[in-house]
């Protein structure tokens, strides 16, 4: 989400009750988020703040981290992720840096994004430290029960992004489930994450959509409804 939309969207989300904000060095909006957090008057300790360092910043880690903290107007983030897997042993180097960042208390928790299970196993083998989170693209079409279980077996929380953006919200199966609960198909997708134990990351600049994306706690999907959505997968 780019300026000038980001500041207003974050303020609207915080006003609506959101308390988790996900950003990244590469998004170019950390400054807008820092200002929105400051102006909202919501206490910093009440917001779970996630940002990411990209693989292209290997060799410039300290500069990148300092810039992110300055823009976000905080001395720590709650979750710092490697945004994308660097090549070869650079992944291990960057993971070791995030471990040090956690030890310095500039990050309370550390994790990865867009990592395969094999890539996760490699950094764990090298360091003995398991990521708390793996943030990946997660839609009904990309539903992968085996990958979900692999992360769970390792004690890693899966976070999903882009489900609403990359899914046909007029899909007949989604419409049938939505109609049964009197909600939108976007809300069904978010609830699908929650009922699978996957963290959902919705994004919108429209206040009504921001509110609707939060209003997913008054219904739950049945196992047959989950099975229908899971069956939309094209994986394997």
Using CA atoms in the order 146, 151, 152, 154, what is the torsion angle rounded to 10 degrees? 130
* Token duo for residue 222: 């049945």
**Is 199:148 a contact under the CB 8 Å cutoff?**
no
Q: What strands, in cross-sheet order, belong to the sheet with 20-22?
A: 20-22, 48-53, 79-82, 110-113, 133-137, 157-161, 199-201
Distance CA 51, CA 5 (A): 18
SS3 state of residue 5: helix
Measured N-to-C along each axis, helices 30-40 and 5-16 cross at an angle, to the nearest 10 degrees, of 40
18 is a catalytic site residue: no
Distance CA 157, CA 54 (A): 20
Catalytic residue selected from 7, 18, 25, 27: 27
Which are the catalytic amino acids? 27
């Amino acid at each position: 989400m780019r300026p000038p939309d980001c500041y207003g969207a974050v303020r609207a989300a915080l006003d609506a009750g959101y308390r988790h904000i996900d950003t990244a060095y590469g998004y170019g909006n950390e400054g807008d988020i820092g200002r929105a957090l400051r102006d909202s008057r919501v206490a910093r300790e009440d917001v779970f703040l996630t940002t990411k360092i990209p693989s292209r910043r290997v060799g410039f880690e300290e500069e990148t981290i300092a810039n992110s903290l300055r823009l976000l107007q905080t001395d720590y983030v709650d979750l710092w992720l490697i945004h994308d897997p660097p090549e070869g042993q650079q992944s291990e180097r960057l993971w070791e840096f995030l471990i040090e960042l956690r030890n310095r208390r500039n990050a309370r928790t550390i994790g990865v994004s867009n990592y395969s299970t094999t890539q996760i196993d490699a950094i764990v083998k090298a360091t003995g430290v398991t990521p708390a989170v793996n943030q990946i693209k997660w839609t009904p079409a990309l539903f992968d029960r085996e990958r979900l279980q692999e992360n769970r077996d390792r004690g890693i929380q899966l976070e999903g992004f882009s489900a609403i953006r990359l899914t046909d919200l007029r899909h007949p199966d989604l419409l049938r489930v939505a109609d049964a609960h009197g909600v939108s198909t976007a809300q069904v997708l978010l609830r699908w994450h929650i009922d699978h134990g996957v963290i959902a990351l919705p994004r919108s600049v429209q206040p009504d959509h921001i509110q609707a994306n939060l209003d997913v706690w008054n219904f739950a999907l049945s196992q047959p409804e989950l099975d229908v959505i899971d069956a939309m997968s094209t994986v394997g």
